[in-house]
Amino acid sequence: MAMTVDFRVYLITDRQKAPGGDMLRAVEGALDGGVSAVQLREKDLPGGDLYRLAERMRSLTARYGARLLVNDRVDVALAVGADGVHLGTKALPASAARGILGTAALIGCSTHDLRELRQAQDQGADFVTFGPVFPTPSKAAYGDPVGVAALFEACRKATIPVFALGGMGARNASQAINAGAHGIALISEIIAAADPRGTAAKLLARFGSTLAAGQAARETPKEGEP
């Protein structure tokens, strides 16, 4: 049985955005600030370099008790003992990755529309990212943002957790949660921050407040109800 998707903020790496190129420092700050799931996404690195970086990232995330997923590279995830993989639309199917990594692995999939979302679910993914919800340079190749209305529809039809992706941060996390997202996935807001720890801590605090407010609203009886 796969691990529970027990995180709400899903940090995606990009060493090009880290101040001074020091991605490990940025990730460690984020982990110290409370982030508990990291996707290692450095697509341009050769296999050997990615493996060595993944080894260091596995050691770092293990120290904080955080999840580590490797983007696309099932072999690297297996080699370093990562918690799972995150698969793009052109990667192995989730069912094939599951066959290699086993039932306990955590498998996420990138989705941009309802067809891809249904496909990921059918293949046995544990969660998906959906977007881009808002404008972001890292997802410009996918065209215009899908918007909050599309996110709402995806969350309504999903049977697995959905993470809003694309231009996400503290300023719009509440919009994603109110649309039904389980959490948010982001890069720049934390990785590019001068103070990754403080940024992560503030984001998680904002997130917790939004979730608590939503829960309270659902539990408050409407007028006329007992």
Please give the single-letter amino acid code of residue 172.
Answer: N
- Neighbouring CB atoms inside 10 A of 175's CB total 18
Whether residue 142 is predicted with pLDDT greater than 70 in this model: the reply is no
Structure tokens at 187: 């890069």
Residue among 39, 45, 130 at smallest CA distance from 85: 39
Choice among 8, 15, 36, 41 that is catalytic:
41
The mean of the pLDDT values for the chain is 92
194 lies in some domain = yes
The structure tokens 């293990």 sit at 62
User: Is 188 a known active-site residue?
Assistant: no
3 lies in some domain = no
224 lies in some domain = no
1 lies in some domain = no
22 lies in some domain = yes
Name 37's bridge partners.
67
Domain count, the chain: 1
**Residue 209: per-residue pLDDT:** 83
CATH assignment at residue 87: 3.20.20.70
**For 61-118, how does the pLDDT look when each residue is reduced to its tens digit (9 = 90+)?**
999 999 999 999 999 999 999 999 999 999 999 999 999 999 999 999 999 999 999 9
Choice among 8, 58, 98, 139 that is catalytic:
139
- Neighbouring CB atoms inside 10 A of 167's CB total 21
Q: Are 170 and 15 in contact (CB under 8 A)?
A: no
225 lies in some domain = no
User: Is 110 a known active-site residue?
Assistant: yes
122 lies in some domain = yes
Structure tokens at 44: 């341009």
Which domain range does residue 143 map to? Answer: 9-219
User: Is 41 a known active-site residue?
Assistant: yes
**Residue 144: per-residue pLDDT:** 83
Residue among 177, 169, 131 at smallest CA distance from 150: 131
Choice among 67, 110, 138, 197 that is catalytic:
110
98 lies in some domain = yes
Residue among 190, 150, 193, 182 at smallest CA distance from 31: 190
Span 151-173, mean pLDDT?
96
What does the alpha-carbon distance between residue 81 and residue 188 come to, in Å, rounded to a whole number?
Answer: 26
Kindly give, in sequence order, each residue whose CB lies less than 8 Å from that of residue 59, ignoring residues fewer than 6 positions away: none
